[in-house]
Chain A
Amino acid sequence: MSENLIEFNNISKFFGKVIALKDVTMKLKKGEIMCLLGDNGAGKSTLIKTLAGVHKPDEGEIVIEGKKTIFDSPKDALDMGIGTVYQDLALVPLMSVTRNFFMGREPLKGLPFLKTFDIEKANQIAAERMGQIGIDVRDPSQAVGTMSGGERQCLAISRAIYFGAKVLVLDEPTSALGVHQASMVLKYVVKAASQGLAVILITHNVHHAYPVGNSFTVLNRGKSLGTFNKKDISREELLGMMAGGEELDKLEVELEEMNRINN
C-alpha cells in the first residue's frame, strides 16, 4: 500500500514524564494539503521537529513511499525529501536573495581544488525561481531584508522545493502576515501542491487553513482528535474542536454575564 507518499503511524514522543505526543497518525498523498491545527501547547512544535528529524519518535513509525524510515538527523529527513520551513525561515536579512537561496548548498564551478561559488548561475536560478512564483526580484543581489514578509516566506518555500522537497512542512507560514501577504503565500502553497508535492501546513489560524486544506488534523494536548476531510467538517466545527468547544462556550456565557451586569 504505497499509495500514500508519507505516513506517520501512531507516533509518540515523551520528554521524561511529559507526554508531548501520543499516537498521532497522519497520511498524505501526493498533491494533498493537510492542515495541522492546534492551539498553543498542543504539540505542534514537537510534531514538526519529529517530522524534520530533530527528535526521534519514541513509538510509532514513519513510512515514506512505502518504506519504513528512521531519521537520525535533520539532514536525513532532508535527504528523504522532507523540506521543513521553520517559522524563523532560516533567512539572513543582510544577505542577498541569491546568497540566501543557496546558503549551505552553493553551486560551484572551476578547478577541482579551486572551486568557486558560481554566483552568476546562482543569481540566474534564484531570479528564475522567484519569477515563477510571480515575485519579481528586481535584483537577486538585493538584501532579503528589503523583501516583504510574504515574499520571504515564499523564498524559503521555493528554496525547499528547489532542493528536492517532496513533502513540505510549513510551520505557521502565515502567522506574522497581513491578509494580502498571507493569501500570496497560501496561493503559492496550493500551486506547489498542484505540482505534486505533499504539504503539511501547521497553523492555529483556521481561516487560513480552511480554504486551502484537503484534510485537517486537529491536535489537542499531544493527542490527535482525528483527521477530517474537508467535506466532512465545517470551519466552525474545526474552530470549536481546536480551542476545546467547551471553553469557547464558557467564554460566551461569561461575556453575556458581564454584559448583563454592565447594563
Chain B
Amino acid sequence: MSEKAKSISSKKTSGQDERLKEVSKLRLLLNRPELGAVGGAILVFIFFGIVAGDTGMFSAYGTLNFLDVSANLGIIAIAAAMLMIGGEFDLSIGSMIGFAGICIAIPAIYWGWPLWISIIFAFAMAVLVGYFNGILVVKTGLPSFIVTLAMLFILRGATLAITRLITGRTQVPGLRVLIENDPIAWMFATDTFKWLFTWLGSMNLIALRTDGTPLATGIPPSVIWFIAATLFATWILMKTRYGNWIFASGGDKNGATNVGVPVGRVKISLFIGTAVAATIFATIQVLDAGSADTMRGNLKELEAIAAAVVGGCLLTGGYGSAIGAAFGALIFGTVSMGIFYTDVDTDWFKVFLGAMMLIAVVFNNYIRKRVTESK
C-alpha cells in the first residue's frame, strides 16, 4: 500500500514540477530582493539619458566619475547589507573610515613606518573595532543600533583627539609621495586598463586633454574593489554554508541557535566585515587624496544603510542581497553626480535620497508579505 501511495505522490510531484516551470521564472524574479534596486537603477539611467544625455555625463570621463562615487559607497553598502541580513546594524562605519585614514597617515608620516605597514596596521585596527562591536552586541544582547551609535561617537572623537594631539591639526597631508614603489599601496591607488583608454584616446573615441593623453586614464581602483566585493559577497550568501548561517542568524536567532548555527560567531564576523570595508574605503580615499582628514566618512554609515535598504535588505534581517546593495549604491552614486549635469539644484539630492529610501521600504515591506503569506 505504501508503494502505491509513493507512486501516487511521486506522480503528483512530478506533475507539479512541470507546471511550475512555466510560472516560476517570473515568480522567482518577483521574489528576488534586488528587483526593486535593479528597476530603480534602470529608471535612473533612462531619466539621465533623457535629461542629461548630451552633457557629457555618459562620456568615458563622466561615466567613470559616477561609477567611482557609486563604487566607493558600494564597498561599504555591501558589507552593511551582509550585516543587515545577519540581523544587525553598524552605525560606526563612517567614523571607522575617518579612524582608518588616520591609522594609515599618522604612522606613515609621523612615525616613519613604511606605507604598507601602516595600511596593514589600519586593517588590524579595523578587525579589532569590528570584533569589539560584535562581541559587545552578542554578549550584552543590546540592540546593535545603540552599541554602534556609541562607537560612532567614540571613534570619531578618538580620531579627532589623537590626530590633534600628535599633529596639532585635523588633517595629515603628504602621503602621495609614499605611494610609489610601495608593495601594497598600488592595490588601492592604481587605475587599471590604462592601455584600453590610451588606445581609445588614440582612436579619438574618447575625449583627450590638450597634451593628447585621454581625459579618463583608467578604471579607478574603487570600481575594481566594488565589483570584487559584490561577487565575493554574492558567492558567500548564495553558495556557502556560512551564507546560509547569515540568513538564519538574521531570520530567527533562536531557531538558528536551536539547530546548531553559531549565531554569535556569524554576527561578530559580519561586524568585522563592515569595519574592514570601511577601511578599504578609507585606504582608497586617503591614497587618492594624498591626505587623511579626521572628518572623512562623516554620515557614510547612513548612506550605506540606505543603499542596502534600497537594495532590498529588510531592516529586521534575514532577507536581502549583495547585488541589490550594489545597485542601491549605483543609484545613489549616479544621481549624486548626475544632478550636476541637470538644471536641478544639487540641494535636492538629499530629498531624492530620502524619498528613494521611503519608496524602497514600502516596496520591501510588500515583498516580504508576498514571500511569507503567498498561500
A interface residues (Cβ-Cβ under 8 A, vs B) = 74-75, 78, 86, 88-95, 99, 102-106, 108, 115-117, 119, 127, 131-132, 134, 136-139, 141, 143, 145-148
Using a CB–CB cutoff of 8 Å, the interface residues on chain B facing chain A are: 5-6, 9-10, 12-13, 16-17, 20, 24, 28, 31, 238-241, 243-245, 247-248, 251-252, 254-256, 258-261, 314, 318-319, 368, 371-375
- The answer on a CB contact under 8 Å between A94 and B319 is yes
In whole angstroms, how far apart are the Cα atoms of A88 and B239 in the complex? Answer: 27
19 contacts between A and B (CB under 8 A): A78-B260, A90-B256, A90-B258, A92-B247, A92-B256, A93-B372, A94-B251, A99-B248, A104-B248, A105-B260, A115-B240, A117-B243, A117-B244, A132-B9, A136-B13, A137-B13, A145-B371, A145-B372, A146-B371
Residue contact B255 to A143, C-beta cutoff 8 Å: no
CB distance from A83 to the nearest CB of B (A): 11
Quick check: B254 and A146 within 8 Å, CB to CB?
no
Residue of A nearest to B263 (CB): A104
The listed residue (A78, A89, A104, A148) touching B256 by CB distance below 8 A is A104
Contact B20 A139 (CB under 8 A): yes
A111 to chain B, nearest CB (A): 13
B263 to chain A, nearest CB (A): 10
Residue of A95, A139, A146 near B251 (CB, 8 A) is A95
- The dominant DSSP class at the B interface is helix
Give, as a whole number of angstroms, the nearest-CB distance from B119 to chain A. Answer: 26
Complex contact B9–A147 (CB within 8 A): no
| In the bound complex, CA of A75 to CA of B373 (Å) | 33
A94 touches B258 (CB 8 A): no
| 3 tightest Cβ-Cβ pairs between the two chains A and B | A145-B372, A92-B251, A90-B255
Tell me which residues across on chain A come within 8 A of B31, comparing CB atoms: 143
B207 → chain A closest CB, angstroms: 44
Chain A residue contacts of B13, Cβ below 8 A:
127, 131, 136-137
In the complex, chain B residues whose CB is within 8 Å of the CB of A99: 244, 247-248
Question: Are B16 and A138 in contact, CB atoms less than 8 angstroms apart?
Answer: yes
Q: Is the CB of A136 within 8 A of B371?
A: no
A94 with B318: in contact, given A88-B255, A139-B24, A143-B31 (CB under 8 Å)?
yes
- Bound CA span A89–B255, Å: 7
- What does DSSP make chain A's interface, helix, strand, loop or mixed? loop
Check if A104 sits within 8 Å of B260, measured CB to CB. yes
Given contacts A91-B252, A93-B252, A116-B239, 7 further A-B contacts (CB under 8 A): A90-B256, A91-B255, A92-B248, A92-B256, A93-B372, A94-B372, A95-B244
Query: Is there an interface contact between A146 and B375, defined as CB atoms closer than 8 Å?
Result: yes
**Which residue of A is nearest B253, CB measured?**
A92
Known interface pairs A117-B243, A139-B24. Does A94 touch B371 (Cβ–Cβ under 8 Å)?
A: yes
Asked, given contacts A90-B259, A95-B247, A136-B13, whether A146 binds B373 with beta carbons under 8 Å apart, the answer is yes
Q: What residues of chain B lie closer than 8 Å to A95, measured between beta carbons?
A: 244, 247-248, 251, 318
Kindly state the separation between the CA atoms of A116 and B238 in the bound complex, as whole angstroms: 9
Contact of B248 among A103, A132, A138, A148 (CB under 8 A): A103
Measured CB to CB, the closest approach of chain B to A170, in angstroms, equals: 14
Structural contact, A103 and B256, CB atoms closer than 8 A:
yes
B375/A94 in contact, CB under 8 A: no
A147 to B374, CA, bound (A): 8
Cβ-defined contact, A117 with B240, below 8 A: yes
Residues B240 and A104 in contact, CB atoms below 8 Å apart: no
Task: Report which of B10, B28, B372, B375 forms a contact with A131, defined as CB distance below 8 A.
Answer: B10
A108 touches B258 (CB 8 A): no
Contacts of B256 in A (CB 8 A): 90, 92, 103-104
Q: Chain A's nearest CB lies how many Å from the CB of B257?
A: 8
- Separation of A94 and B371 alpha carbons in the complex (Å): 7
Inter-subunit contact A90/B244 (CB<8 Å): no
CB distance from A123 to the nearest CB of B (A): 12
Residue of B nearest to A93 (CB): B372
Q: Nearest Cβ distance between residue B219 and chain A, in whole angstroms?
A: 27
Query: Which residue from B24, B238, B239, B372 sits with its C-beta under 8 Å from A143?
Result: B372
Closest chain B residue to A108, Cβ basis:
B241
In the bound complex, CA of A102 to CA of B260 (Å): 11
| Identity of the chain B residue whose Cβ is nearest the Cβ of A195 in the assembled complex | B2
* CB pair B375 A92 closer than 8 Å: no
- In angstroms, how far is the closest chain B Cβ from the Cβ of A45? 14
> Which residues of the partner chain A approach B16 to less than 8 Å between Cβ atoms?
136, 138
Say whether, besides A90-B254, A104-B248, A143 and B241 are in contact (CB < 8 Å). Answer: no
Closest chain B CB from A53 CB (angstroms): 11
**Which residue, B239, B255, B261, has most C-beta atoms of chain A within 10 A?**
B255
